[in-house]
Structure 1
């Protein structure tokens, strides 16, 4: 589709707009080539992408709550303000082959005018309560990004460890790798904060069970 609610990067992910293409530094913790990329059922992010970001957090809520928030894509706007609209292009639960379309605004920047990104994400791999991997394009005026996004969920002593990694490719992001990496990182950090806030608020900040 992820604070002051950062514009999310896509793919669900949010490729987050190229609003800050003029920036020069990646967010703290960013790694251009992290060791041991995340996977879901053996498949990971784009190994050749120059723009990539990985991060994680522990959420003090039941895994079932976190999973429901993340996979009920039609309800994303209720807890992620950067997600303007969502449209399910499938019936039933999220599963391999399920596609959904969502939008997020993009302010003007040195490369493209203010626009709205239309992101079409397709689930490629999923394991209930464990991982999701989706791919898809994000398209706006003068802007095209192809993204691959992986999420991992695992119970730990103090809650649920949520890890995420995403890669972006495309003419605009490849031309501005440090700035595009910063935008991607800001989006993923914001997404995790929003997911943590929503899940913990639902359960009063209690421990997972």
Structure 2
């Protein structure tokens, strides 16, 4: 897999997930939006002009998938295009935890809105006039871990180029999910 593929085009403010990719331009219709992912009552901005979702089935232990996802300080080991990434709030991730990261050489500061270990995280990432809400969910299935990432972008810069931003977010989420899958599966093969 080409590690640089979507990131060379840019992922905007946040983004990353994918075996299935759903792209929705708000307002979403019942026919194409599917049920929204939720983490302890938090979901993406359903009225945002750009919403994307990607899911991937990962054949690795849930604990390994979660460890890679939640270990922000070590994202550079498997997804260097969005680093440096650094957790500013000490201790385990929890509501209010702050982390910084650098998609497309932008300095983004995100705040965890909610988290359930081994199940889901949701964070907000306002940057350069864009309000992003990013959600990850993890579900153990008989075939592996279904990881789904969903994100919404709103704000004047998004509205200025909805198709371009939609493409960037779709590609970014797809790349992030595939990278999580590839890394988790390769690491679990070695254990």
**Pair in the same fold by TM > 0.5:** yes
1:193 partnered with 2:178: yes
Question: How far is 1:39 from its partner?
Answer: 0.8
> What does 1:134-149 correspond to in 2, within 5 Å?
134-139=123-128, 144-149=129-134
Structure 1 residue 100 displacement after superposition: 0.5
Is 1:45–2:44 an aligned residue pair?
yes
Number of equivalences: 176
SS at match of 1:38: coil
* Structure 1 runs (4+) greater than 2 angstroms displaced: 3-11
Give the strand-richer structure, 1 or 2. Answer: 1
| Cα separation, partners in 2 of 1:84 and 1:135, compared to 1, 3 Å | same
Equivalent residues in 2 for 1:93-172 (5 A)?
93-105=92-104, 116-139=105-128, 144-172=129-157
Contact in 1 for aligned 2:24/2:50 (Cα 8 Å): no
SS state at 1:165 partner: strand
CA distance in 1, matches of 2:184, 2:13: 21
Residue pair 1:95, 1:123 contacting (<8 A) in 2 also: yes
Instruction: Answer yes or no: is the 8 Å Cα contact 1:83–1:102 preserved in 2.
Output: yes
- Residue 23 of structure 2: which of 21, 25, 30 is its match? 30
Q: 1:67 to 1:185 in 2, by over 3 A?
A: same
Residue 42 of structure 1 aligns to a residue whose secondary structure is coil
Cα deviation for residue 9 of structure 1 reads 4.5
**Deviation for aligned residue 1:205:** 8.3
| Aligned residue number for residue 70 of structure 1 | 69
Q: Give the structure with the larger helix fraction.
A: 2
Aligned to 2:13: 10
- 2:177 & 2:66 partners in 1: Cα distance? 13
> What is the CA distance between 1:133 and its match in structure 2?
0.5
Structure-2 change in CA distance of 1:9 and 1:197 (3 Å):
farther
Flag the 1:39–1:90 CA change in 2: closer, same or farther, 3 A: same
Is residue 12–residue 165 contact of structure 2 (8 Å, CA) maintained in 1? no
Q: Secondary structure at the match of 2:65?
A: helix
